[in-house]
Amino acid sequence: MDWLQVWVLALVQGLTEFLPISSAAHLILVPVLTAWEDQGLAFDVAIHVGTLVAIVAYFRHEVAVVTRAWVRQVGGNGATPESMLAWAVIFGTLPAALAGLIFAGVIEAHLRSPLVIATTTIGFALLLWLADWRGRGSRDEFGIRWRDILIVGGAQALALIPGTSRSGITMTAALLLGFSRRAAARYSFLLAIPIIALAGGYQTLQLVQAPPDTVNWLQIGVGAIVSGVAAWLSVHWFLKLIERIGMLPFVVYRLILGVILLWIFL
């Protein structure tokens, strides 16, 4: 890879991973527009690690609080809103993890086409707009119930289809359940931690099993740092602005992106 490719791919991964605009659609579009060669599995692992470190660092206080509450509950103390949120993250991850194990081959073989990505980018953008327009409420993430966990977790499993956007579909479900914009975003971001960790672990296993290859460790390190900083900034500003700007700018952006993909590939 040249350094322009390192910076662009790391920025795309970091900026789009947590925004409701579909990182998969962007990572498909970038090589089409640039004709770059595949960046390799080691770089993919690095930029995912960067985003994982960023989201854990950003929510370090919340992660510590809910983890301690969960440990206390497992140890025999009573349930609290904080321990319930920990359970919500754990059980909300299971549908996507199981769907990935069962359907990964089918998705890889049949659902990674540009037409599918364009269709899901547009379709789920409209659903996000509908949820933001009609479903927004005042509930926060600490009032989550088992029904909410089942619905949002099931929605997250749909994000295995490229173009859906993991953050977009989980925020959509949470908004329809009456969560505030900020609470929907915060729960979505907390759900991202185990999912990114699982995806990164799977990629690392593939990397270990692959034939040894020459790795540019400087580019790997820069890619991880750039993706991490970009992810931290995108989460920070999204949470600061979401109550004021709503989801409409992201919906419009996704519609434009979907149309561009259709124009390129049809």
Q: Which two tokens stand for residue 199?
A: 């995806």
Instruction: Average the pLDDT over 188-205 and give the result.
Output: 88
Look at residue 89 and tell me whether its pLDDT is greater than 90: yes
- What pLDDT, in 10s, does the model give residues 177-191? 999 999 999 999 999
Q: 223: Cβ–Cβ under 8 A, 6 or more apart, which residues?
A: 6, 9, 10, 43, 46, 47, 50
Q: What pLDDT is recorded for position 22?
A: 85
Please return the burial class of 255, using the count of CB atoms within 10 Å of its CB with bins 0-12, 13-18 and 19+.
middle
Residue 212 pLDDT class (50, 70, 90 cuts): low
Q: Which of 114, 116, 117, 122 is nearest to 254 (CA)?
A: 122
Look at residue 158 and tell me whether its pLDDT is greater than 70: yes
Assess contact for 191 and 182: CB atoms under 8 A: no
Q: What pLDDT is recorded for position 210?
A: 66
d(CA 147, CA 247): 24
d(CA 79, CA 142): 12
Percent of the chain past pLDDT 90, that is, above it, reads 65
Is the pLDDT higher at 260 or at 180?
Answer: 180
Mean pLDDT of the chain: 90
Instruction: Average the pLDDT over 226-246 and give the result.
Output: 95
d(CA 162, CA 114): 9
Q: What pLDDT is recorded for position 232?
A: 97
Tell me the residue ranges of DSSP E strands in 160-260. Answer: none
Look at residue 197 and tell me whether its pLDDT is greater than 70: yes
Report the amino acid identity of residue 42: A
Q: What pLDDT is recorded for position 186?
A: 96
Of 24-38, 41-55, 214-228, the poorest mean pLDDT is in: 24-38
Instruction: Average the pLDDT over 259-264 and give the result.
Output: 88
d(CA 251, CA 266): 22
Residue 105 pLDDT class (50, 70, 90 cuts): confident
- Residue count (the chain): 266
